Chain A
Amino acid sequence: MSEKDNNNIDRREFLKTAGAAAIASSAVLSACTGNSNNPQQTYKTTIPEPPTDKMTYRVNPKTNDKVSLLGFGMMRLPVKGGGSGRENKDAELDQEMINKQVDYAIEHGVNMFDTSPAYCQGRSEKATGIALHRYPRDKYFISTKLSNFNPATWSLESGKEMFNNSLKELQVDYVDFLLLHAIGGTSERPNAQGINEKLDSQQTLYARYIDNGLLDWLVGQQKAGKIKNLGFSYHGDIKMFDLLLKWQDEGKYHWDFVLIELNYLDWKHAREINPGNTNAEYLYAELEKRGIPALIMEPLLGGRLAKVPDFIFKKMKSRDPEHSIASWAMRYAGSPKGVLSVLSGMTYLENVKDNINTYAPLNPVSEEEKNFLEEVADDIVGLNTIPCNDCKYCMPCPYGIDIPAIFVHYNKCINEGNRPNNSQHPEYEKQRKAFLVGYDRSVPRLRQASHCVGCHQCEWHCPQKIKIAEEIQKVDKYVEDLKQGRL
């Protein structure tokens, strides 16, 4: 949460600087033209509002609908008292604020909204429905998912129930985009003896959608008009991505779109960061080849591409002091022509404004800028941060560990230069204190890495395929090194 806050402050800070820059430049301009009869008027103190009529749209080749390039991700909705509905289980979603943000987004041309029965602990669809129901149905597109992760929901009946419930919560008769959620993941299912057995990605795919006839039923629903576009979101095992596209080539199923993870880090480095993942370059090329529109997720890697270490911040700001760090990543994700919409989970109005500024209209990244971002990607890979996007799919840990909070703290310390690796460093004591005191503040002691039993139950949920237990134990060992003065 604190990371989110900081992230948010970053953007706010940026907007301030941008505002100041605009003021300065306008002051200079007016001075030059000698048109400063009333300096008070030209000396604006407010941040410029994003335009309402400049949103970039992409055309859905199937329906000819004009979809806004910015998709509003309803995954990190705000709760009363601050923070997002993912980490604050007990806090009530701030419907008023959600409505306000949705109003603002629609006013500025956003018409794509993405949710799931799993988001915000199952509360996102309802809140989305309340916010959007105030508009005519043809003013917005809804994307939701069949998120049957729990083996208890793998029957056809449960699948139907989940889809029908989505329609009910969203207060609609049809959804525009329906996704098979997180294809390529593995799972665990209790067998007859009650012992969990592991299912690989193919067994999982078949158990969730094929063997029970759920996918066929969904195709039926599409024919009945309840689903306008049918597709899937992909994480993990590349064989499943290839398999589903093969089905399309064979004419078995047709995918109207596919949701993939794309950003300047994952374009070429996804495999390098984790051998279980696939570079976005490949994924996008496979879709482009078949003319399948791509929806994009994780354009900012859960905020990691908005909150970068100081030396990268300086590098990016030196090139472009006026735009936010996040805007680089948003531009990158929106630039490929085959991208229909970029889904960004937004908690604060500032996030919404910044993203609208970036896409109204989109200024595509040039080849030269791509090379620059490739350089930045190399820098980020070199940091050895843990590739956790704080998506919280691993949670809750049955042993009470706060997995993402541990990773977020660890990465934050790396980014801020507070992960000392040598006790001879002149700043060692200060960095050590920042790491250890900050650790206790970010993660309650009983939820820290030292309590991880290494049961690996979390790992099959991780869309980034992080070897969670291994990484947690690595953090724990590092904490011990710091505490025992072994560095």
Chain B
Amino acid sequence: MLRKIRVAAAIVAFSLVTLLFLDFTGTIQAWFGFMAKIQFLPAILAMNVIVVLGLLLLTLLVGRVYCSVICPMGVFQDIVSWISAKRKGKKARFGYSPEKKVLRYAVLALFVVLMLVGLNEIAILIAPYSAYGRIANTLLAPIWAMGNNILASLAERADSYAFYTTDVWMKGLPTLIIAVVTLAVVSVLAWRNGRTWCNTICPVGTILGFASRYAIFRPVIDTNKCKDCGLCAKKCKAAAIDFKNHSIDYSRCVDCFDCLENCNSKAIDIKNRLKEKSTASASAEAQQNCQSQNVDAGRRGFLIGAGLLAAGVAKAQKDKKVDGGLATIIDKKVPERQTPILPAGSWTAEHFAQHCTGCQLCVSACPNGVLRPSSNLNTLMQPHMEYDRGYCRPECTRCSEVCPTGAIKPITKAEKSSIKIGTAVWHKQNCVVLTDGVECGNCARHCPNGAIVMVPSDPKNPESHMIPTINTERCIGCGACENLCPSRPYSAIHVEGTEQQREI
């Protein structure tokens, strides 16, 4: 029974977390966004004391239920392991192995150190929820979106507006590669040995192991009933049951309850530790230190000397033919930015780099094609903004709503309209007003803050075509100007990010 409840709960939780990454309409996020926020590591980074204490207390009470139900990476491994068992036709394929304490603690220590010195981009490779997020975002979401697009084209034929088309595109190659490698490693480990990853590498597993070691309710083998058949050990995907000694390693047990279900002699049952006088050790060492974020200096090398923008404006100077036809449109290229642009609410690059675990949830949620994972080694997998496909629209605050780690702090639409995330810079050599001799002002028309003021290109001639000037005091860096600039492939106006976001 317990096992069935566990499986059902795991399926629900796993589906919801996965859907968070797949749903680009924002509907699931509005209802079940909390599924990301109750993940352990993001909650620590967000300093969400209630969630962290809650999870630790839960673990202290009933063991690592978290790993079997809430953590999508845990459930994913169970799925792989289940398929493996089906394929191999072996129902009992595991066996006890002693805890590899040195490895576990060394990996955890390394993880904490890396996080503290600011080498998050390496540490987060093994953060379970984020690693799963990267898999879901880079590998599953495109398939989901393509499926949606098929439905959208069907809906269009039926004159229905139930589905709309969404863009499917590759957001970042390094992140995709990392996701594929992670998927391969975790799958192989799970295929062969169940929860190896959770009990040797996963830092969250190790931390929760400290608490679950002293869990109040835990499975216990009744030596009177046990027939020493060893079936439980063979069914234990955590390799935690030492049936010869009738002991279970609770730091590795993930509360899957498979042993309870499979014991033919009903020798394993959940017992209350407090009612057993023998082991009444005070077990309140559970509180793990929430990692406070030391500001560490001198971490990120600045990008120096970004070259001038290539000014290749290829304008289709066709003979004007009447009666139809469409001019070809060259794709926009991303300009080199000296400072990357981060979403409003990340406040400082430092804060952002130290809190973001690169789970890609914001990238999944961004409806404007702006957010994408960085390919820069210092900020690998962490999102940044580009305006070649869209711009940061004034009515949208989705990334700040979904971020589970507090890397992007929640902001309101009103706040967003005054948070400066960058500043627009005009490039005379690309501006169509000067290159094509036409009127334009599309940047000024779309600036949500009125930060672009059009002035005559020839100061002596007030009748001359107007060119844009940027009021940097008003510009918030949303990128409407850059995205909607007619100059292609490089815009005549681009946004430089800021190290320190501020309200203006």
Which residues of chain A have a CB within 8 Å of any CB of chain B? 86-87, 89, 118-122, 147, 149-150, 152, 195-196, 391-393, 395-400, 402, 430, 433-434, 437-438, 440-441, 446-447, 450-457, 461, 473, 476, 483-485
**How far is the CB of A13 from the nearest CB of chain B, in Å?**
14
Contacts A398-B316, A437-B164, A446-B329; is A86 near B438 (CB within 8 Å)? Answer: no
Among B156, B324, B439, the residue within 8 A (CB) of A453 is: B439
**How far is the CB of B36 from the nearest CB of chain A, in Å?**
26
Among B323, B327, B328, B393, the residue within 8 A (CB) of A392 is: B323
Q: Would you call B276 an interface residue if the criterion is a C-beta within 8 Å of the partner chain's C-beta atoms? A: no
**How far is the CB of B391 from the nearest CB of chain A, in Å?**
10
User: Do A451 and B156 touch across chains, with their CB atoms under 8 A apart?
Assistant: no
User: Do A400 and B327 touch across chains, with their CB atoms under 8 A apart?
Assistant: yes
Q: Would you call B169 an interface residue if the criterion is a C-beta within 8 Å of the partner chain's C-beta atoms? A: no
Q: Which A residue's beta carbon lies closest to that of B315?
A: A398
How far does the alpha carbon of A391 sit from the alpha carbon of B315 in the complex, in Å?
25
Chain B residues whose C-beta falls within 8 Å of the C-beta of A455 in the assembled complex? 432, 436, 438-440
Contacts A150-B320, A399-B486; is A121 near B325 (CB within 8 Å)? Answer: yes
Kindly specify which of B209-217, B340-348, B397-405, B441-449 makes contact with the partner chain.
B441-449
**How far is the CB of B82 from the nearest CB of chain A, in Å?**
40
Contacts A89-B325, A395-B324, A483-B395; is A453 near B161 (CB within 8 Å)? Answer: no
Report the interface size class on chain B.
20 to 34
Chain B residues whose C-beta falls within 8 Å of the C-beta of A118 in the assembled complex? 321-323
How far does the alpha carbon of A433 sit from the alpha carbon of B163 in the complex, in Å?
10
Q: Would you list which residues of chain B between 465 and 500 have a CB under 8 Å from chain A? A: 484, 486
Chain A residues whose C-beta falls within 8 Å of the C-beta of B432 in the assembled complex? 453, 455
User: Do B319 and A395 touch across chains, with their CB atoms under 8 A apart?
Assistant: no
User: Do A440 and B323 touch across chains, with their CB atoms under 8 A apart?
Assistant: no
Render B133-166 as a binary contact track against A, CB cut-off 8 A, 1 for contact: 0000000000000000000000010000100110
Q: Would you call B312 an interface residue if the criterion is a C-beta within 8 Å of the partner chain's C-beta atoms? A: no
How far does the alpha carbon of A416 sit from the alpha carbon of B321 in the complex, in Å?
33
**How far is the CB of B395 from the nearest CB of chain A, in Å?**
5
**How far is the CB of A113 from the nearest CB of chain B, in Å?**
18
Chain A residues whose C-beta falls within 8 Å of the C-beta of B327 in the assembled complex? 396-400
Which 4 residue pairs of A and B lie closest in terms of their CB atoms, listed nearest first? A455-B438, A392-B324, A453-B440, A400-B329
How far does the alpha carbon of A152 sit from the alpha carbon of B317 in the complex, in Å?
14
Chain B residues whose C-beta falls within 8 Å of the C-beta of A447 in the assembled complex? 326, 329
User: Do B161 and A396 touch across chains, with their CB atoms under 8 A apart?
Assistant: no
Render B88-118 as a binary contact track against A, CB cut-off 8 A, 1 for contact: 0000000000000000000000000000000
User: Do B324 and A121 touch across chains, with their CB atoms under 8 A apart?
Assistant: yes
User: Do B323 and A452 touch across chains, with their CB atoms under 8 A apart?
Assistant: no
Which residues of chain B have a CB within 8 Å of any CB of chain A? 156, 161, 164-165, 315-329, 393-395, 432, 436-442, 445-446, 484, 486
User: Do A400 and B328 touch across chains, with their CB atoms under 8 A apart?
Assistant: yes
User: Do A149 and B322 touch across chains, with their CB atoms under 8 A apart?
Assistant: yes
User: Do A450 and B393 touch across chains, with their CB atoms under 8 A apart?
Assistant: no
Can you show 23 pairs from A to B with CB atoms below 8 A apart? A118-B321, A119-B323, A147-B322, A149-B320, A195-B437, A392-B322, A393-B323, A396-B318, A396-B324, A396-B325, A396-B327, A400-B328, A430-B161, A437-B164, A440-B164, A441-B156, A450-B442, A453-B442, A454-B440, A455-B440, A457-B438, A461-B320, A484-B394
How far does the alpha carbon of A86 sit from the alpha carbon of B324 in the complex, in Å?
6
Chain A residues whose C-beta falls within 8 Å of the C-beta of B322 in the assembled complex? 118, 147, 149, 392-393, 395, 461
How far does the alpha carbon of A73 sit from the alpha carbon of B436 in the complex, in Å?
37
User: Do B320 and A437 touch across chains, with their CB atoms under 8 A apart?
Assistant: no
Chain A residues whose C-beta falls within 8 Å of the C-beta of B315 in the assembled complex? 398
Chain A residues whose C-beta falls within 8 Å of the C-beta of B442 in the assembled complex? 450-454
How far does the alpha carbon of A192 sit from the alpha carbon of B228 in the complex, in Å?
101
User: Do A87 and B324 touch across chains, with their CB atoms under 8 A apart?
Assistant: yes
**How far is the CB of B494 from the nearest CB of chain A, in Å?**
17
Chain A residues whose C-beta falls within 8 Å of the C-beta of B325 in the assembled complex? 89, 121, 392, 395-396
**How far is the CB of B280 from the nearest CB of chain A, in Å?**
61
**How far is the CB of B444 from the nearest CB of chain A, in Å?**
10
Chain B residues whose C-beta falls within 8 Å of the C-beta of A400 in the assembled complex? 326-329
Chain A residues whose C-beta falls within 8 Å of the C-beta of B441 in the assembled complex? 453-454
Chain A residues whose C-beta falls within 8 Å of the C-beta of B165 in the assembled complex? 440-441
Chain A residues whose C-beta falls within 8 Å of the C-beta of B438 in the assembled complex? 453, 455-457
How far does the alpha carbon of A398 sit from the alpha carbon of B156 in the complex, in Å?
29
How far does the alpha carbon of A475 sit from the alpha carbon of B460 in the complex, in Å?
34
Contacts A453-B438, A484-B394; is A395 near B326 (CB within 8 Å)? Answer: yes
How far does the alpha carbon of A392 sit from the alpha carbon of B442 in the complex, in Å?
23
User: Do B484 and A450 touch across chains, with their CB atoms under 8 A apart?
Assistant: yes
How far does the alpha carbon of A393 sit from the alpha carbon of B395 in the complex, in Å?
36
**How far is the CB of B167 from the nearest CB of chain A, in Å?**
9
How far does the alpha carbon of A321 sit from the alpha carbon of B164 in the complex, in Å?
37
Contacts A398-B316, A433-B161, A441-B165; is A120 near B439 (CB within 8 Å)? Answer: no
**How far is the CB of B319 from the nearest CB of chain A, in Å?**
6
Among A87, A121, A393, A453, the residue within 8 A (CB) of B486 is: A453
**How far is the CB of B405 from the nearest CB of chain A, in Å?**
29
Give the one of B156, B328, B438 with max A CB within 10 A: B438
User: Do A121 and B321 touch across chains, with their CB atoms under 8 A apart?
Assistant: yes
**How far is the CB of A173 from the nearest CB of chain B, in Å?**
26
User: Do A150 and B319 touch across chains, with their CB atoms under 8 A apart?
Assistant: yes
Chain A residues whose C-beta falls within 8 Å of the C-beta of B484 in the assembled complex? 450-451
How far does the alpha carbon of A390 sit from the alpha carbon of B502 in the complex, in Å?
48
How far does the alpha carbon of A86 sit from the alpha carbon of B329 in the complex, in Å?
19
How far does the alpha carbon of A195 sit from the alpha carbon of B433 in the complex, in Å?
12
User: Do A398 and B445 touch across chains, with their CB atoms under 8 A apart?
Assistant: no
User: Do A456 and B439 touch across chains, with their CB atoms under 8 A apart?
Assistant: yes
**How far is the CB of B229 from the nearest CB of chain A, in Å?**
62
Contacts A89-B324, A400-B327, A483-B393; is A450 near B446 (CB within 8 Å)? Answer: yes
How far does the alpha carbon of A364 sit from the alpha carbon of B486 in the complex, in Å?
51
